[in-house]
Structure 1
Amino acid sequence: MNTDRLRQRLREIYGPSGEAWLPQVASLAAHAAGAGGVKAPAWDERDAVLIAYGDHVRAGGERPLRALRAFLARHRFEELFSTVHLLPFFPHSSDDGFSVIDYTSVDPALGDWDDIRDLRQAFDLMFDLVLNHVSQHSRWFQDYLQGREPYARYFHEVDPAADLSAVARPRSLPLLTEFATSRGPRQLWTTFSADQVDLNFAEPQVLLEMADVLLQYVHRGARIIRLDAIAYLWKQIGTACIHLPQTHAVVKFFRELLALAAPQTLLLTETNVPHAENISYFGDGDEAQMVYQFSLPPLLLDAWLNEDARPLMRWLAELAPAPQGSTFFNFTASHDGIGVRPLEGLVSAERFRRLADLIRERGGLVSTRHGPDGRDLPYELNITYFDALTEPAGRDTDLQVRRFLASQALMLALRGIPGVYLSSLWGAGNDLAGVEQSGQARRINRRKFPRDELDRALAQPESREARVLAGYRRLLATRRRQPAFHPDAEQSVPQDVPPWLVAVLRVSRDQRQRILTLVNVSGQRQSWRLPAGFECCPARELIAGRVWPQAACVELDPYQPLWLESAS
């Protein structure tokens, strides 16, 4: 086993002293080698990720993980999705799983490792490595409070007089929290909440602990590891404490560790920041293999709500391909809100404010963060994606369903791997009761659904839920049969596109298939002259599955998506 690159990464993180930890790291890698199976092709057009909580679907006294597995099987979702991103299923104390008490146990309220293994029989799995922070109720933190070694060095003690004004803040909350320890009161770094205490990665033992957890997840069946809140990992007072070189070096370290122990395992970084900062986690092809396309959800909303796709089209035209061996993770909705920092520099301040106002009109909330000058600035929009696209007084269910599915048709057509939040499959609405009961804005999109209620709604063909699922199923089933939708297939956008239109061309890697995605983002019927190569020969419209007649122009109904395949 060649550990030279691991040695290099340890030196990048800790300087020359980092080499002293190489034998322990190498031992972890050697022990785990081969745990994830044989290296397979990284991805293809059949890949799509379903994002779900372990208790997203509930069924009486049945274990939630078993209820989820039964629901996915009943609706044959294994025919549509290759992977399930199972959101944190560990014992936790807050943030719906992201304040972890025990990294290596399954919350008994959800099930056990056998239930995870059963889910793995039908899907690849994605797990979250929640590595920036840990619950104040964890054993690590409780041992810290008692001054026990090595845990006494696992957390950031900060002098209250320290100048922290340069620190980038993702929340409008205090950065430090006071805790009573056996050595007296201490101020500790808590980026996200008082319950989530940041880990001190300047202590090599913390990195070693997380490397062990990472490899245990691989052993338990994780094909993709999501590095949660990775951007804030390294702290250095006097800096912004975001995207520091040591943070990137830690990502590279994990990449090298997996290359030795489990080369089939992929890293996905979660960095909800402006686009240029976000894609920095590709590194030079030596960091994450996958990066969230965080600018897509708010840009798409901006286009639909303004009936003007020009900012979205400009961004698509300028979007550079991911490095070789890397790809984007495309999505519109997840368990979190819709981040708006990735809109910075892409839309005007006026449109930025208008987007927040339109979300409030639709029953959503706007969460804030502390800006550099101490003012509160919008950080994320808390709303379900279906309700975000719905007119406040909209009574035309057919129009609302078409508008939502059009947005998803575009997301699914873009270069990269798509991720779909389970609630989006039936067009879930805002859970305002959940927000009121919990006091947490993110609960608006984290409702857990009784299985019998879902089954009844989905069994009624004219219900909103059934219509959304039927349309989504058609899109997903069609997409996975198209070589031009391979994550690595070429992507470009035509020139001189009118404001109401989104147009994206995908070309398969063997050049044999070309798919032109067109979406009318307006509420009016529109026409557009097709680009060269599509107007001169018959095409097939893939979503409806029909031959598209030879014509120089195409007519699109309000919010209509088309996937036009040109004849070879």
Structure 2
Amino acid sequence: MSVKNKVQLITYPDSLGGDLKELNKVLLKHFSDIFEGGVHILPPFPSSGDRGFAPLTYLEIEPQFGTWEDIKAIGENFDVLVDLMVNHISQKSKYFQDFLKKGRKSEYADLFITLDKIWPEGKPVKEDVDKIFLRRPLPYSTFTINETDEKEKVWTTFGRTEPSEQIDLDIKSEKVKKLVDDFFSNFAKNNIKIVRLDAVGYVIKKLGTSCFFVEPEIYDFLEWIMKLAKASGIELLPEVHSHYSIQNKLARHGFWVYDFILPYSILDALINKSSTKLMDYLKVRPSKQFTMLDCHDGVPVKPDMDDLIDTKEARKVVDLCVERGSTLSLILSDEHKAPDGFDVHQIRGTYYSMLGCDDDAYIAARAIQFFAPGVPQVYYVGLLAGENDYEAAERTGEGREINRHNYTVDEIEKSVQKKVVQRLLKLIRFRNDYAAFNGEFKVLDSTKDEIKLSWQKDDKRCSLFIDLNTNKTVIEYVNEEGSLVKYLV
């Protein structure tokens, strides 16, 4: 299996029509020649929270979404990508429920990180905890074992509840390794072609470190899981939200990585009418990347953009997005905030809304994304040029729902007819079909208020020109007859 250099879709299993069967119908009816790179189905597994990201198992599909047969059916026409939350599993999983009942006598006890695996006698040391990159006030939760009434502290990196809903797995455990092997075997059997390793940066717990992307141990783990995936004919995509230098390290080790720098950089260029930082970045970034503008979370700011942004300028971008309806996710730990207190982790909202629902600006943003080297992913809300869903965010109390609208079949039919969506679909077809995108990429000299990029392979070449003052986007390309054609995007 090799990743196709064509556009992919990202969607929840129930966000385009209501379930997996409807998703397949929608894909075949409207987008059969659009997502030639595949479909990333956000967790379709039984889950106890975090919209699928607290999975009970990877061996089953949540019945309200459908079955593995539905996944296989989608896989007949599109390469399917799914997530493996390799760092944790749900508190409601049969594995942890058995541990809750029997404690250390449970056959699954070794799957989890009881604190005696980290500290002598299982007593946390404040100096160690202070060094950890915390995603919640403490990196562990306390549970009461049913049969003995004993208290057990286990490692929990994530989770909004106390105790946490997401229980970390001990990747040193042979039982965890066997479980992961079972998951990959099941993925292969059901036509999964790519697996995204969600939260993989947190799998190594080592005293004296931040317990985030611990080197060199993280590479040993990734090499082990890469072999496992390859044996099943599956490609891996590690997902690590962090300083851009970590993506560069992963790329140097030969892994696919996510370009979490591009979404903000494009937003900044279009809002401030200046291409300088974006063009500088495009000259040096790794090419073996998956690119995106929007996703089920938000546009990454800190720590991804650390050292790449001036926080005063960033405040202007953030404030304008907020003015246009976005909300913010903030950094928890003081040491990860900027010296001036700037603490924006992600900007939440649809990318279309962040750009003021300006069709030309939105198409310019997508054109830049598609010309940047890498495999482009388009989130389903962005595909339909969706606007902020304030009602969903308010109803659920989950800020990220602002960009997670669930479309009915009727809403999809109407959205597909929008001019901006038709322009986007035409642009995606060009990106999928034009041969030069498998050739050589160049950042061309341009003024501060322009963007000029090009691709060439043999006699095929295309160039992108964007005037940031007007957001007018033009592609010039050599057609089949060898003539130079201008395409106003």
Q: TM-score, normalised by structure 2?
A: 0.89
Structure 1 counterpart of 2:219, one-letter code: H
Query: Offset of 1:262 from its aligned partner?
Result: 3.0
Task: Give the structure 2 partner of residue 520 of structure 1.
Answer: 467
Worse-superposed segment, 69-78 or 154-163? 154-163
Residue pair 2:184, 2:228 contacting (<8 A) in 1 also: no
Residue pair 1:484, 1:515 contacting (<8 A) in 2 also: yes
3-state SS in 2 of match to 1:373: helix
Match of 2:130 among 165, 173, 176: 165
Structure 2 counterpart of 1:179, one-letter code: F
Distance 2:39 2:471 in 1: 37
Task: Give the structure 2 partner of residue 338 of structure 1.
Answer: 299
Query: Offset of 1:330 from its aligned partner?
Result: 1.0
CA deviation map 1:301-355 (0-9, x unaligned)? 111111112111111122244xxxxx21011111121111221111212122222
Match of 2:425 among 448, 473, 487: 473
CA deviation map 1:166-202 (0-9, x unaligned)? 1123x35443322222462233322221211111112
Aligned in 2, Cα 1:524/1:474: closer, same or farther, shift over 3 Å?
Answer: closer
Distance 1:204 1:183 in 2: 28
Distance 2:382 2:34 in 1: 17
Structure 1 counterpart of 2:429, one-letter code: A
3-state SS in 2 of match to 1:164: helix
| 1:296 maps to 2:262 | yes
Task: Give the structure 1 partner of residue 186 of structure 2.
Answer: 216
Residue pair 1:227, 1:268 contacting (<8 A) in 2 also: yes
| 1:140 maps to 2:99 | no
5 Å-filtered alignment, 1:6-45, equals 39=1, 42-45=2-5
3-state SS in 1 of match to 2:459: coil
Distance 2:71 2:409 in 1: 19
Aligned in 2, Cα 1:470/1:234: closer, same or farther, shift over 3 Å?
Answer: same
Aligned in 2, Cα 1:283/1:421: closer, same or farther, shift over 3 Å?
Answer: same
Aligned in 2, Cα 1:178/1:347: closer, same or farther, shift over 3 Å?
Answer: same
Aligned in 2, Cα 1:44/1:160: closer, same or farther, shift over 3 Å?
Answer: closer
Task: Give the structure 1 partner of residue 81 of structure 2.
Answer: 126
| 1:484 maps to 2:436 | yes
Residue pair 1:78, 1:122 contacting (<8 A) in 2 also: no
3-state SS in 2 of match to 1:107: coil
| 1:236 maps to 2:201 | no
Match of 1:249 among 220, 224, 229: 220
Match of 1:267 among 213, 236, 240: 236
Aligned in 2, Cα 1:351/1:103: closer, same or farther, shift over 3 Å?
Answer: same
Match of 2:393 among 418, 432, 435: 435
Query: Offset of 1:220 from its aligned partner?
Result: 0.9
Residue pair 2:364, 2:472 contacting (<8 A) in 1 also: no
Query: Offset of 1:274 from its aligned partner?
Result: 1.8
3-state SS in 1 of match to 2:335: coil
Aligned in 2, Cα 1:525/1:89: closer, same or farther, shift over 3 Å?
Answer: closer
Q: TM-score, normalised by structure 1?
A: 0.77
CA deviation map 1:409-429 (0-9, x unaligned)? 110112111111111111111
3-state SS in 2 of match to 1:105: coil
Distance 1:243 1:362 in 2: 35
Q: Which runs of 5+ in 2 are unaligned?
A: 116-122
Residue pair 1:179, 1:187 contacting (<8 A) in 2 also: yes
Residue pair 1:490, 1:507 contacting (<8 A) in 2 also: yes
| 1:450 maps to 2:400 | no
3-state SS in 2 of match to 1:358: helix
Distance 2:304 2:268 in 1: 12
Distance 2:137 2:395 in 1: 21
5 Å-filtered alignment, 1:375-390, equals 377-390=343-356
Aligned in 2, Cα 1:102/1:262: closer, same or farther, shift over 3 Å?
Answer: closer
3-state SS in 2 of match to 1:58: coil
Distance 2:396 2:142 in 1: 24
Task: Give the structure 2 partner of residue 419 of structure 1.
Answer: 377
Residue pair 1:144, 1:154 contacting (<8 A) in 2 also: no
| Pairs aligned (count) | 465
Percent sequence identity is 27
Aligned in 2, Cα 1:505/1:378: closer, same or farther, shift over 3 Å?
Answer: same
RMSD: 2.5
